[in-house]
């Protein structure tokens, strides 16, 4: 069983199994009774485990296929034997530079950015028990964007300086959101719905700041800032890839350590507290890790829209409603790699007469209809429809 798999949160009105949930296994699923023809039955644990393994295996295979498609195909194609010759250090005129210095680092960063956004969004959504709770929606990405645009427009920054500004902005905004949503009178500290509403308010203000800055600069600077704001892998290089790998190595270990607390928080603050979880510190720790995951991904590729928002709900659908951090991370990687290949190769070939698009344009086009559907379906359930 994967250490990062999370059980589905109990719904209001449903009971729980007579077996008390154990905190020994950080991510052991809790069997939940369900209605089945008027009789209450416990879902088959072995069946859920087989489904989870099948889904994770399929997603991992899809990621591998998309990775090699991104590297080997497109405007410049490379055969598999030539690719492995390049990896072995052999110099092939033309191919050595295009593959090793452009296509391969682009694919690596796309993969890692998808993993980071997928993990970040799933942590937020699981912790706050709300599918709208993702860095795209609650202002984290806008904090990174406003800080990066300020660095570009006001200070003339470029490259790693813009990435550093984006990370700093995301962290500062996250601290502000948490501070304004903190309520010491409750066991939960920063209540989920309050944090989301405060984050949406921050997002609106920061979007206005970005718009103002873009109107006060020259057209060339504004154009460069807009490319970054849409989220793009065009400037991928090995320096960014190394920083991203190092950051994710630390943050993924932190996620594994905090997964037990996340499992408890998904069942509700009262249940988590009864199970021995220190709710406020655990929530703060998870918030910091989720923000850092979004920040390092944004620093590498810009605020690629909706990957964090889409990954968790899609993973839940594939797993029959159970939350799984590994599945969400793999879904994020699938979305990032597929969207980048479409933006860099398929859309220019068939729709834009050779003009490539930032990857964020494609993910935004996918995410906006999903957001509308989620809002409509949530409203219908709230009305009993």
For the chain, how are helix, strand and coil distributed in percent, rounded to 5? 70, 5, 30
Assess whether pLDDT exceeds 60 at residue 266.
Answer: yes
For Cα atoms 160, 116, 99, give the angle at the middle one, nearest 5 degrees.
Answer: 65
- Structural tokens at position 179: 């501070």
Burial of 44 (0-12, 13-18, 19+ CB in 10 A): exposed
Hunting for tokens 């109107």 — which residue is that?
215
Q: What mean pLDDT is reported for the chain?
A: 83
pLDDT digits (tens, 9 = 90+) for 196-206: 889 999 999 99
Long-range (24+ apart) CB contacts under 8 A made by 204-211 are 206/139, 206/142, 206/143, 206/145, 206/146, 206/173, 207/142, 209/146, 209/149, 209/150, 210/142, 210/145, 210/146, 210/149
| Average pLDDT value for residue range 56-74 | 95
Report pLDDT for 137. Answer: 87
> If pLDDT is split at 50, 70 and 90, which confidence band does 113 have?
very high
Report pLDDT for 381. Answer: 56
| Average pLDDT value for residue range 62-72 | 96
Provide the 10 A C-beta neighbour count for residue 232.
22
> If pLDDT is split at 50, 70 and 90, which confidence band does 183 have?
low
> If pLDDT is split at 50, 70 and 90, which confidence band does 292 have?
very high
Assess whether pLDDT exceeds 80 at residue 256.
Answer: yes
Report pLDDT for 123. Answer: 94
> If pLDDT is split at 50, 70 and 90, which confidence band does 16 have?
very low
Assess whether pLDDT exceeds 60 at residue 50.
Answer: yes
Report pLDDT for 10. Answer: 44
Assess whether pLDDT exceeds 80 at residue 323.
Answer: yes
Assess whether pLDDT exceeds 50 at residue 42.
Answer: no
- Structural tokens at position 327: 């599945």
Q: In whole angstroms, how far apart are CA 119 and each of 16, 71, 159, 364?
A: 27, 24, 25, 18
- Structural tokens at position 165: 């500004």
- Structural tokens at position 1: 């069983």
- What is residue 233's three-state secondary structure? coil
DSSP alpha helix (H) spans, 7-135: 45-72, 80-87, 95-98, 104-128
For residues 44 and 123, the model is more confident at 123
> If pLDDT is split at 50, 70 and 90, which confidence band does 178 have?
confident
> If pLDDT is split at 50, 70 and 90, which confidence band does 272 have?
confident
- What is residue 240's three-state secondary structure? helix
| Average pLDDT value for residue range 274-284 | 84
Residues in the chain: 385
- Structural tokens at position 141: 């990405």
| Average pLDDT value for residue range 176-186 | 71
């Amino acid at each position: 069983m994967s250490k990062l798999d999370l059980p589905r949160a109990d719904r209001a009105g449903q009971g729980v199994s007579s077996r008390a949930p154990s905190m020994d296994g950080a991510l052991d699923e809790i069997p939940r009774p369900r209605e089945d023809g008027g009789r209450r039955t416990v879902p088959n644990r072995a069946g859920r485990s087989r489904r989870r393994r099948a889904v994770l295996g399929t997603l991992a295979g899809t990621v591998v296929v998309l990775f090699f498609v991104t590297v080997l195909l497109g405007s410049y194609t490379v055969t598999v034997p030539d690719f492995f010759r390049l990896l072995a250090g052999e110099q092939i005129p033309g191919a050595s530079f295009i593959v090793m210095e452009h296509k391969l680092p682009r694919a690596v960063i796309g993969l890692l950015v998808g993993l980071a956004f997928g993990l970040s969004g799933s942590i937020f959504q699981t912790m706050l028990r709300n599918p709208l709770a993702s860095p795209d929606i609650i202002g984290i990405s806008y904090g990174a964007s406003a800080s990066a645009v300020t660095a570009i427009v006001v200070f003339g920054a470029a490259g790693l300086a813009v990435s550093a500004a984006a990370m700093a902005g995301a962290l500062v905004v996250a601290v502000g959101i948490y501070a304004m949503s903190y309520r010491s009178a409750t066991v939960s500290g920063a209540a989920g719905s309050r944090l989301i509403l405060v984050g949406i308010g921050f997002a609106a203000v920061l979007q206005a700041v970005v718009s103002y800055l873009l109107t006060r600069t020259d057209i060339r600077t504004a154009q460069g800032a807009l490319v970054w704001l849409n989220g793009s892998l065009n400037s991928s290089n090995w320096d960014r890839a190394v920083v991203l790998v190092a950051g994710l190595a630390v943050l993924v270990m932190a996620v594994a350590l905090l997964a037990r607390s996340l499992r408890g928080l998904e069942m509700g603050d009262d249940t988590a507290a009864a199970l021995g979880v220190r709710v406020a510190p655990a929530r703060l720790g998870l918030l910091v890790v989720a923000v850092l995951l979004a920040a390092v991904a944004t620093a590498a590729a810009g605020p690629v829209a909706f990957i964090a928002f889409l990954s968790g709900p899609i993973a839940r659908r594939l797993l029959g409603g159970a939350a799984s951090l590994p599945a969400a991370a793999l879904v994020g990687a699938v979305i990032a790699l597929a969207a980048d290949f479409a933006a860099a190769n398929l859309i220019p070939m068939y729709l834009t007469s050779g003009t490539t698009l930032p990857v964020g344009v494609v993910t935004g086009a996918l995410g906006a209809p999903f957001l509308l559907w989620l809002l409509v379906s949530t409203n219908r359930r709230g009305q009993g429809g």
